[in-house]
Structure 1
Amino acid sequence: MTEHPGQVDVADLPEVVRNFLRAHEARDFSTATAAFAPEAAVTDDGRTYRGTDAIRGWLEQAGTQYTYTATPVGAERDDPGRYTVVQHLEGDFPGGVVDLRYRFVLDGHELISELTIAP
């Protein structure tokens, strides 16, 4: 994996990010939750969820509210420990198609400390 900011192959993302993306797509809430540090925060759709209990609740709600597929279409290393993955979603949510940016911040223990999801 490159040490400089810029585009990276999705396969070259840190393992914890790849694991989260796979688990999130598969609606494997336990594995997806395990990718987060205990004090992590997720911001999605204008709401912030803090701590793994709240994050698991968000995952369960988001994973059952709509049916969709998510395909990673690009990835960047923004800074050391910071990555952005563009996911193309198609499903039965309002609008049916959207590209979302998943902005990950990793802690020093290779867990996700922050995730912000936005267009």
Structure 2
Amino acid sequence: MKLPAPIQTYFSAEPPQDAEAFAAAFAPEATVHDEGHIHRGPDEIRAWWQAARAKYRHRAEPLDLTDTAGKAVIRARVSGDFPGSPAVLTFTFGLAGDRITDLEIG
């Protein structure tokens, strides 16, 4: 499956070496909604990502991609150090050009 470049970066980045590339995949006004919290802007999103990767040591494997109401919706198998692992989660990305503008994980 061919993912848009910023989404490919989202799923393939590894901390800490890819932290700058990961943050650069997000637009300046981007938001991420995850676990009941909203993270705003590339710096806050990078900090959230690094903390989550350290806590859960998770990996996400994209399973399929659909376009729904102008959003890229990806189901991914997520495995790591959390109850219920592995789990299939839905990642809904908004894109503008070559940047992620919003992401909701559920």
Tell me if TM exceeds 0.5. Answer: yes
- In structure 1, the residue matched to 2:12 is 22
Identity %: 34
The 5 Å alignment of 1:53-72 reads: 53-72=43-62
SS at match of 1:65: helix
Answer with 1 or 2: which has the greater Rg. 1
Q: Map Cα deviations across residues 57-85 of structure 1 (whole Å, 9 max, x no partner).
A: 101111100122321111111244x2011
SS at match of 1:105: strand
Work out which of the residue numbers 77, 94, 106 in structure 2 matches 1:105: 94
Structure 2: gaps (5+ residues): none
**Alignment partner, residue 117 of structure 1:** 105
Alignment of 1:85-104 (within 5 A): 85-104=74-93
1:35 equivalent to 2:25? Answer yes
Take 1:92 and 1:17, find their aligned partners in 2: how far apart are those partners?
23
Task: Give the superposition deviation at 1:22.
Answer: 1.0
Report the TM-score when normalising by structure 2.
Answer: 0.88
- Normalised to the residue count of structure 1, the TM-score between the two structures is 0.80
Matched to 1:114, the amino acid is: D
One-letter code aligned to 1:14: P
4+ runs of 1 displaced by more than 4 Å?
none
**Which deviates more from structure 2 when the two are superposed, residues 97-106 or residues 60-69?**
60-69
Distance 1:67 1:15 in 2: 23
